[in-house]
Chains A and B, each alone.
Chain A
């Protein structure tokens, strides 16, 4: 078991290094540079742009830039964000907690809702409620994320007077009591987290329902039913443990989303998180910021898949002795 994880960690390091190299080369190969937008201003002369390129080392050969970048990363220096004029670490440190908070709540909401819907569907399998919930899940699955986000924004902000975007009320926040600040944060978090939950739940519900339907014909379930265990207990306490395994795989895949966020959700709700940071760094060709964000994303993918493996082994004893 330990050897397995050591091997996976080493593989993970290679994956991260490869991802970092590929993204570094790709973003540098893309047309334009970080100062492209400034070229729209005729007062910014080529000599100024050259000064800027020199200041950021962008006038050096690509190979040298790469080696310098790698050396800096090993020293713990992720560089200086060109579009934000601050250390990359500082820009990431601002955005990451916001995204982690939003995505964690979104995932928890999505999983809780998805599993609950699946359980209700299975308990009423083949009946109208099962079909209705299946249809609702399919509808949410098919809705584009930006469309759903706009729908939630427009409807709930006007009907229920939720705040329109942002993480806090920029006008009143400093003048609120500690309790008022907490409520303000929750109110700002509610709509984007709800939207994410609504986007995640159909995936979970459909997987969980299929998994439960697969487990229910098992002999141990038949035995439990023969012993007189009621349907509710049967599903919750007997079928669920085995049926959760495939959903855990989804959790492993969804984990990296904790970092990269949901770009459209963050944009629509003006949520100051990683998703929007990454997209704007691509648009602005902010090489250091984008590369660092992608490295962080790759680390999350590796950690996510390791966690999924660990959980799998925890829940399925047959896998523990596998090499």
Chain B
């Protein structure tokens, strides 16, 4: 099983970040060794991936869907690519891409990238440093509304001293400056986009027919049907092993599963728990399990939904929140909703981060302890209706949940029952996604079952659980504020060593676990089904598709569609 391999990757030690200046020669030796041509791996074959929906656009700076991200990462290259360890501190583990080497300035306020002179756009034009300058402008231009511009806030400018040298200048030093700048930008062709900006960017030809420099090139997009990519056989990093990657759209999960079973698709990126057993029985398929970057939780609104300046009638009380946390048997809830395809979440983080200590102290399930605490807080069921009261206020609240997530809806029902047993009444409010998000954004809820998909960097916790995110425009919808937590997160993000980071994050996570502004529920794994003839390598938790160019199909196992000579 590939799970063990992934786990090994996740716990691999990450090198300590040291601000340094190195010579080009030394770096060339260290960085350019990347991917040398492998003559032993057979080339050819077609990989058909089934996804749930069309991307909205294929222009990386404004694309937000996973499908767009998959295609963007296959068609476009970055200057360098994050390693499998997902280290985001310094440049440790980063692989050269369009930049064949890079050099830090002595003060660490700039990094100079040496472009690979062999890199070409798919239309044959050489990739040059002016493309890097252009890309930075495009991402950071507020008129373009790129959601990723915020990650470039620390970048002061990008310059091109010559056609093969690009320098990124930073406003201040930070451990993640390299990751923020490099991981954010997929380098775009200046000669194709020209001076297009603002709303016109969305209707530019590149939005639907990308021209990149990655190992796959775009072939065609049949709306709501499929998107086809083909091997860039003359790519500067060697042609990919596969000839073609076809992404087919199947909005209905039953159809997607039927396509997989019928051999029309080779891969489904996320299969429902109920279908895992059936797929596992299929001798032509493999089920792959990897740690994901998602976690979900019950988020309490600590502010009154009607009067945000006031504390919530129930959840303003830390001890009540802790009592409710004790009342939930999270292990059984997660087991019921996900079977073995999720772990119990341990806090506002995921196990895939090297900065996460999975042994954080939890508020362990104890119904008796919950009942004792509620009693001691004065919550009593004086009228024997099964619901506790205190000073005329009933222990009753709404729990909003998005209907798009069957697992969350299932968990809501189990939670309702478990809270009932300690005298708390939960009214489930199932909403479609736009209505659910609107409710969160306006802070008009008692409690929600929320979920976050996090990036490789753990820094997002500042926005989702920190005081800064508690502002009206932030993503800390429950309005949790704790300056000690904020300070530990800030220290973690400023730390230059993994040990130091991990230590500060652990303290921050412990503070928030003890404060219980949320009950951490599940950390779902990514469950994929892949045809056995496909040899997968390097399934990264943040982007399983990152190494598709290295996937292969042995010649002896190829089927009809693998043998098509595309001639493109």
Contacts and interface: CB of A to CB of B under 8 A. Distances in A.
B474 A46 contact: yes
Given A150-B254, A157-B262, A276-B251, A37 B434 contact: yes
Given A43-B151, A276-B224, A31 B439 contact: yes
Contacts of A48: 145-147, 149-150
Contacts of A150: 254
A167 interface: yes
Q: Is the interface of B mostly helix, strand, loop or mixed?
A: mixed
A151 B56 CA distance: 31
B258 A157 contact: yes
B435 A31 contact: yes
Interface string B340-373: 0000000000000000000000000000000000
A51 B199 CA distance: 10
B433 to A, nearest CB: 6
A24 to B, nearest CB: 17
Contact of A270 (B150, B249, B455): B249
A285 interface: yes
B255 A268 contact: yes
Contacts of A95: 223-224
A45 B255 CA distance: 35
A94 B262 contact: no
B150 A43 contact: yes
Given A43-B148, A153-B258, A171-B246, A38 B224 contact: no
A86 B57 CA distance: 8
A218 interface: no
Given A43-B148, A44-B64, A153-B258, A170 B203 contact: no
Given A33-B434, A165-B255, A272-B223, A43 B250 contact: no
Nearest to B223: A94
Contacts of B255: 153, 164-165, 267-270
Contacts of B439: 31
B564 interface: yes
A33 B224 CA distance: 22
A283 interface: yes
Interface string A253-269: 00000000000000111
Contacts of A40: 433, 437, 451-453
A72 B561 CA distance: 47
Contact of B440 (A38, A39, A276, A285): A39
Contacts of B336: none
B146 A42 contact: no
Given A31-B439, A51-B145, A272-B224, A171 B434 contact: no
Given A41-B147, A85-B208, 4 more contacts: A31-B438, A32-B438, A37-B434, A55-B145
Nearest 3 A/B pairs, CB to CB: A32-B434, A46-B473, A170-B226
13 contacts: A31-B435, A38-B64, A41-B64, A43-B148, A48-B150, A51-B143, A80-B202, A94-B224, A95-B223, A150-B254, A171-B246, A272-B225, A283-B433
